[in-house]
Amino acid sequence: MSDFTAACVQLRSGKNIAENIEQCSDLIRQAAAAGARFVQTPEMTNVLVRSRDELMERIAGEDEDLTIGQLRKLAEELGVWIHIGSIAVRFGDKVANRGFLLSPEGRIAARYSKIHMFDVDLPNGESWRESATYEPGTKAVITDLPWAHLGMAICYDVRFPAIFREQAKQGAEILSAPAAFTRQTGEAHWHVLQRARAIENGAYMISAAQGGRHEDGRETYGHSLIVDPWGVVIGEIDHDEPGFLTAVIKPEETGKARQRIPAIANERDFSVEIVRQVQEAMN
């Protein structure tokens, strides 16, 4: 397994899909010129719109999606792998929050639909109900890169360790959670969650992010990250402005980390016993 340079592209996607594609494409070109052979974009690369009706008016099905079409051409032109963190695509009367891996030949090599829906009321008054708009996926995905195996996930999935554990057990050396983390949750949890998933699985985490105040009024945290299998942040955009970062990925470091801390090999099945002390005492 040879080393390669990976990049995260950080965006501030708005409502205009064409403008989002233009900014994203420019940053991918810059990352490729800096030596990146694998470039990841954030969740909702194509558009960020809070209104369900407005979102449905702007997006298309996978076959007609402008972002996929343009980035497939760009992957072929630049000869790089592009991991579209996710886009919103029509899926029947709902929407799929779906990521795509594009090969240097411009083909769709893999796709993954976000499994976990962010349905929450935050203390600052923000309320999100992704399940009202999006159809959740049902399958975790691992796919091949020339250098390593990539596990695909999206944003809120990072809070559900079982996905990443199973991907690691099935051979993934690189894990990912491209995101549009809210500022509030990002400030509290973004770094620790990314590092935790890397450490507990002895794997790289590559997670491009949305950042800043968006046209629809939301605020996202930014701070795109690449974390190595020992939990060290080896690349970060330490702000919420659009941009890109690069870092060298050394797939053999995964094997070294898993030898030093063989948590996957040492894992055992177990059951949970509930002992109700208070109830027994009352009886």
* pLDDT tens sequence across 98-149: 999 999 999 999 999 999 988 777 777 667 678 788 899 999 999 999 999 9
Q: Out of 8, 15, 22, 43, pick the active-site residue.
A: 43
Count CB-CB contacts under 10 A for residue 202: 24
Sequence-ordered list of residues with C-beta below 8 angstroms from that of 151, at least 6 positions apart, any chain: 140, 141, 142, 163, 164, 167, 168, 172, 174, 175, 176, 203
On whether the CB atoms of residues 9 and 237 are closer than 8 A, the answer is no
Task: Tell me the CATH number of domain 4-282, given options 3.60.110.10, 3.40.50.720, 3.40.50.300, 3.90.1170.50.
Answer: 3.60.110.10
Give residue 1's pLDDT.
74
Among this protein's residues, is 173 annotated catalytic?
no
Under the banding of pLDDT at 50, 70 and 90, the label for residue 242 is very high
Q: Out of 73, 130, 139, 155, pick the active-site residue.
A: 155
Among this protein's residues, is 8 annotated catalytic?
no
Per domain, the residue ranges of the chain are 4-282
* pLDDT tens sequence across 181-193: 999 999 999 999 9
Among this protein's residues, is 43 annotated catalytic?
yes
Tell me the whole-structure pTM to 2 decimals: 0.94
How far is it, in rounded angstroms, from Cα 11 to Cα 7?
13
- In the DSSP assignment, the letter for residue 79 is T
